[in-house]
Structure 1
Amino acid sequence: MDSSEVMRVNRALNKMSKLYRAAKARKLAALGLHPGQDVLLWLLVQERDGMTISELAARLGIEPPTATRSLARLESGGWFRREPVPTDRRQVRIVVTEAGHELVPAIERVWTELAEQTLGEASGEQREIVLSAIEDANDRLRGLVGGEDQAQAVLADE
């Protein structure tokens, strides 16, 4: 790869990352959420009986204190409640409320709109090429940051 191509790749990826995050932040703000909170709430909804903070942190690939801070920021929305774990008084389960369940379709609509707006009028074949290239690049980058757990921790810090 020559230096002009290297610069073009770096510039394009940095710009896309920043613009995608900004667009996502703007769309989620309309729902009262920040980037990252959408994924956290979406994961919680997948578990009907809720999850402990440790389980949630493991799913996200982050440390429990980071999950606790993220939940604290989300708590004011009334989208989940904390319930004691009968077999371990030190633990609580995070259970999504009806309000949280009602918010998930809006989160999924934001994701859909953003995906469609990002890829625009690309044909199905072009979308497949773009997605395959991005997934391959993610796999290579994951190897550079130390595997899946470390990659999740990096992503969670956003």
Structure 2
Amino acid sequence: MEPSEVMRVNRALNKMSKLYRAAKARKLAALGLHPGQDVLLWLLAQERDGMTVSELAARLGVEPPTATRSLARLESGGWFRREPVPTDRRQVRIVVTAAGRELVPDIERAWAELAEYAVGGVSPEHREIAISALEQANDRLRTLVGEGPLTEE
């Protein structure tokens, strides 16, 4: 890659990351959430019976203490409850409440609006090229940081 292209790639990715996070933060603030909490709540809502903190951490790709801190910040919203795991008194299951489930369509709507705003004006062909390029870049970066490519997100 030419040095000028290297600078363009770095500048574009850094700027997009910052702008997307800021735009997402604004959308989520209207729901009473911060970036990252949307994904956590959405993942929890996918499991009717909930999941343990360890399972949630694994799905998020973080360590259990990080998931625990994220849950603590979310807890005041009443979007989930903790239930004991009958077979292991050291564990609890995190189960989304009705209030949490009601928030999921709003989260998905915020994601859709962000995606539309970011690339909705791009032709379908160019959008597919951009998304494929970003997915390949993510896979390569995961390998670089030792996570390996994901098969499902």
TM-score interval, smaller chain? over 0.9
- Runs (4 or more) in structure 1 with deviation over 2 Å come to none
> Post-superposition shift, 1:147?
2.0
* Residue of structure 2 in register with 1:87 after alignment: 87
Matched, 1:103 2:106: no
* Residue of structure 2 in register with 1:44 after alignment: 44
Greater Cα offset, 139-148 or 47-56: 139-148
**Structure 1 residue identity aligned to 2:39:** V
* Residue of structure 2 in register with 1:156 after alignment: none
Identify the structure with bigger relative contact order (alpha carbons < 8 Å, sequence gap 6+): 1
| Runs of 5+ unmatched residues, structure 2 | none
**Structure 2 residue identity aligned to 1:36:** G
> Post-superposition shift, 1:94?
0.5
CA distance in 2, matches of 1:7, 1:46: 40
* Residue of structure 1 in register with 2:118 after alignment: 118
> Post-superposition shift, 1:123?
1.4
Contact 2:139 2:148 in 1 (8 A): no
CA displacement, residues 53-85 of structure 1 (integer Å, 9 cap, x when unaligned) = 111111112111111100000000000001111
Taking only the aligned residue pairs, the percentage that are identical comes to 83
Query: TM-score under structure 2 normalisation?
Result: 0.94
RMSD: 1.3
CA displacement, residues 71-103 of structure 1 (integer Å, 9 cap, x when unaligned) = 000000000001111111111111100000000
| Matched residue SS, 1:47 | coil
> Post-superposition shift, 1:148?
3.8
CA displacement, residues 95-146 of structure 1 (integer Å, 9 cap, x when unaligned) = 1000000000000000000000000311111110110111111111111111
CA distance in 1, matches of 2:120, 2:55: 37
**Structure 2 residue identity aligned to 1:135:** E
| Runs of 5+ unmatched residues, structure 1 | 152-158
Superposition pairs for residues 107-146 of structure 1, below 5 Å? Answer: 107-146=107-146
CA distance in 1, matches of 2:121, 2:59: 34
CA distance in 2, matches of 1:17, 1:128: 19
Query: TM-score under structure 1 normalisation?
Result: 0.91
